[in-house]
Structure 1
Amino acid sequence: MLDAVSSRRRTTLVSAAIRIGYAWTVRRDEPRAWREIMSMTGVVNSLLGPGRVALTPTELVDQLSRDPLRQIAPEVFEGDPLGWLTVLEWGELSDDVYSDGCSAIISLLEKGDRGRGWMPSWTWLQQEIVQNEAFLKIKTDASDADYVARRRFVIEYPAGELETIADQCSEAGIQPPVHYAPLPPDRVHEGRYWWPCPTCRWPMRVSGTTVRCSYRAHNAEYAIRSLEDGRPPKLRPRDDTVGRQPAARLLRTEGDRRTVCVDLPAWRYIVVPGVDELALYKKWHGKPLLDVSLWPHQDAYDLKFTIESLNWTLAVDLKDVASASVLADEIARKPLAAKTIVLPDHRGIAQRQELQDLLPDYTVLRVEDVNRIVKKKLSEARRAL
């Protein structure tokens, strides 16, 4: 595992770079943005060391717009996927930030942090604290059953018409479990249309004639194809690997049918990981001889598989981050209740092996490994009947 100094240096640089990126995107509206950019430029220069020519704020912004972090600090990001993160794209925060940068942010200025008055908490607080903020309403006064119902609702209804969301809440017997807000401007095409990601169902980002989910692993990127006669535009997949394209949804801005979505922290920390957790649960729930529990004891871990006839259980915690070393450091600070860590298949065998080497006291699997193990155990239980 990385030593503490190297790990802190890496996550500090990621955090400072993302803070610069966010401040740059609001510099025309927020008078404190330039002070933030200058302050975080000082942090970055101190991390690069005295042997490097100090970058000016504008030079650093230019590099963050053009180069991945490994180009700015190759010795800091050697061999780590976070090094491929590009902070800015066309003057806005890149999807890399939302996909992978969020998981590596740490608190940089414990006292006198001027950014805390105006920057969103996910740009300056550790992931765990922002997660707690996102989960607060779900957990408040909730029984175990309430917790599962509320959390599942957020995953299944991250965006839509307010009236429809209220009706679905009523049918489920719950109040809206998180805050729903108007769609961000970068999720709307020509002020009229939006598209949900086919995987997570959150509004996809619109940039010129391109529409894509901000979570890159969902592999949803399309070109907009405008139609005549006032018909809604359609999407065309960018390449053959992209799956089905959703139809355009009409944006409504007033009344009970206005279009809303969960905010970014709820999407990134509840919806995105929940997609894989819920898919794994649905695959095995209801199978004879097998009991599957989702988020037992209000998320002590994510899933528990039990076959009583074999006296067999498997408790797992799903984790989806770009950097195995960042995840390993987080788990070292706060050990997991479940001794089996599960990675999404898209993270690959290499990350599974790296994390296993870093955390020898845990078993590290991918989703396909869990499916194979459960299938084998079920076959064993059926033969024993």
Structure 2
Amino acid sequence: MTSVRESAQRVALSEAERVRRDQSITACCLAAAAMSDESLSAGRRGKLLMDCLGVLSAARRADEPLSMTDFRQRLSGPLRLLLPGDLAAGHLSDLVLLDESGQLLDETIDVAVEHLVPRAALDEHWSWARVSAEQEERRTYGILRRLPAKEYARVRGLLIKHPSGELTRLRRVWDGLLSQLDLYESVSTRTWCQVRGHWFACPRCRWPMRVSGSGAVRAVRCEAHAREGVIYTCNAERNPERAPKVEPAGSAATPVRATPATADHLALSRTTWRYVTLPGLLEWNLRDHARSLGARVVMWPHKDRYDVKITLNKRSWKVDAKAWASVTKLGDALKDTEPPEPGLIIVIPDHQANGRELLQKMIGRSGYRVLTASGLKAELDAAKAGQR
């Protein structure tokens, strides 16, 4: 339980300071978990510790460097010896992560969980990138769950429809909620999507497309939709006095225009885009298909218990759409859970059709059913036609 003193210090910290502190605490917990596991190979332990030390070093001031030797030694002492000296850690200052025998203390596990680190991340030694993404996803859904049901549905829709945009317009469409939710980041800091200070929104999902290459001609593609043909090229040296232009290089490369990468242009965090916007587009596609058949469709009927309820010809489908990059990782996340609703259908994108059978085997015993988007549409079409 967080103390009153700790809560007061949390409020006093700026957002940037809070992020630095929370990332530092998370890195220390992950490092301690790696140190405590004698079954880990020296190579893997070293890589995990290096990742955690990198996060911690980035958070610490230039005048307080930390070597790997000091890092390993201080993992056995109080947390204040590891955290940035300019950030108050409250009652956590005296927290010791490992006991005298080098084993992870229960309080360390509690602190990690309070910082949105899954217990599995400590047991399985997840990479920093994976833990960070999981924390961001949990934080996002934590924000959404606190909203009233009606507002929840509106916000989910806005995150699907407006994954990027100019600040003034976003403030208008969000109607006071933009700063409260804190889910957007400035595009100006995302050098990976820029050509000469400009960026390009994917015509499918409206999120910044990635720019790759170092020569005059760059590749510009959406990470999620390149497989469907959202691919362009851009000559970075042509007409340097004007905004750069892209040329279609894929079958779905419809015209897009360059947008200045200024501080007034924002885009959702990668995690929110990956786990809210992309499955949301899939949900909307299923909704539109079902409605075209005359079905009754309810979006997010119980907030985040599942995504879509479709009723057609006295049959109903309860759907949870997923847009994970890895079907296997999705299976790992669901295999030890029970469906929040009996007979829940997990729907994956059509391009992951080859993984549908594997995912069904991984989670079928728990009571889930797995379909591709086209598979669900075929069932709806059959129900409309009166077939079983």
Alignment TM class, shorter chain as reference:
0.5 to 0.7
CA distance in structure 1 between the partners assigned to 2:230 and 2:58 by the alignment: 31
Q: Does 1:235 align with 2:242?
A: no
Unaligned runs of 5+ in 2: 1-38, 73-117
Tell me the residue number matched to 1:334: 337
1:285-364 pair list within 5 angstroms: 285=291, 287-288=293-294, 290-307=295-312, 310-338=313-341, 339-348=344-353, 350-361=354-365, 362-364=368-370
Q: Does 1:214 align with 2:220?
A: no
Judge which range, 207-216 or 333-342, deviates more: 207-216
The offset of 1:33, in angstroms, is: 9.4
Larger Rg: 2
Judge which range, 226-235 or 311-320, deviates more: 226-235
Post-superposition CA distance 1:20-41 (Å, at most 9, x none): 67987998997779849x98xx
CA distance in structure 2 between the partners assigned to 1:202 and 1:15 by the alignment: 36
Q: Sort the Cα spacing of 1:29 and 1:312 in 2 relative to 1 into closer, same or farther, 3 A.
A: closer
CA distance in structure 1 between the partners assigned to 2:374 and 2:253 by the alignment: 20
Secondary structure in structure 2 of the residue aligned to 1:347: helix
The offset of 1:266, in angstroms, is: 1.4
CA distance in structure 2 between the partners assigned to 1:380 and 1:351 by the alignment: 29
Count of residues in correspondence between the two structures = 286
Q: Sort the Cα spacing of 1:359 and 1:35 in 2 relative to 1 into closer, same or farther, 3 A.
A: same
Secondary structure in structure 1 of the residue aligned to 2:320: strand
Post-superposition CA distance 1:126-156 (Å, at most 9, x none): 73x532201233232x222211110110121
CA distance in structure 2 between the partners assigned to 1:33 and 1:286 by the alignment: 61
Tell me the residue number matched to 1:167: 172
The offset of 1:373, in angstroms, is: 1.2
Post-superposition CA distance 1:339-380 (Å, at most 9, x none): 3221110102x2111122233343221100111111222233
Post-superposition CA distance 1:318-343 (Å, at most 9, x none): 22334444323322222222432211
TM-score, normalization by structure 2 = 0.62
Q: Sort the Cα spacing of 1:368 and 1:298 in 2 relative to 1 into closer, same or farther, 3 A.
A: same
Q: Sort the Cα spacing of 1:326 and 1:14 in 2 relative to 1 into closer, same or farther, 3 A.
A: farther
Tell me the residue number matched to 1:101: none
Tell me the residue number matched to 1:201: 206
Give the conservation status (yes or no) of the 8 Å contact 1:187–1:194.
no
Q: Sort the Cα spacing of 1:109 and 1:366 in 2 relative to 1 into closer, same or farther, 3 A.
A: closer
Q: Does 1:260 align with 2:263?
A: no
CA distance in structure 2 between the partners assigned to 1:191 and 1:23 by the alignment: 33
1:1-385 pair list within 5 angstroms: 35=68, 107-108=121-122, 123-125=130-132, 127=134, 129-140=135-146, 142-170=147-175, 175=178, 177-183=181-187, 184-207=189-212, 208=214, 209-215=218-224, 217=227, 219-226=229-236, 227-228=238-239, 230-238=241-249, 240-253=250-263, 258-285=264-291, 287-288=293-294, 290-307=295-312, 310-338=313-341, 339-348=344-353, 350-361=354-365, 362-380=368-386
Give the conservation status (yes or no) of the 8 Å contact 2:232–2:253.
no
TM-score, normalization by structure 1 = 0.62
CA distance in structure 2 between the partners assigned to 1:223 and 1:22 by the alignment: 37
CA distance in structure 2 between the partners assigned to 1:347 and 1:17 by the alignment: 31
Secondary structure in structure 2 of the residue aligned to 1:305: strand
Tell me the residue number matched to 1:86: none
Secondary structure in structure 2 of the residue aligned to 1:270: helix
Q: Partner letter of residue 233 of structure 1?
A: P
Q: Sort the Cα spacing of 1:380 and 1:295 in 2 relative to 1 into closer, same or farther, 3 A.
A: same
Percentage identity across paired residues of the two chains: 23
Unaligned runs of 5+ in 1: 1-8, 40-103
CA distance in structure 2 between the partners assigned to 1:18 and 1:279 by the alignment: 40
CA distance in structure 1 between the partners assigned to 2:167 and 2:372 by the alignment: 36
The offset of 1:295, in angstroms, is: 1.6
Q: Sort the Cα spacing of 1:248 and 1:281 in 2 relative to 1 into closer, same or farther, 3 A.
A: same
Secondary structure in structure 1 of the residue aligned to 2:159: helix
Q: Partner letter of residue 182 of structure 1?
A: S
Q: Partner letter of residue 331 of structure 2?
A: A
Tell me the residue number matched to 1:75: none
CA distance in structure 1 between the partners assigned to 2:201 and 2:271 by the alignment: 17
> What RMSD, in angstroms, separates the aligned Cα atoms of the two structures?
4.1
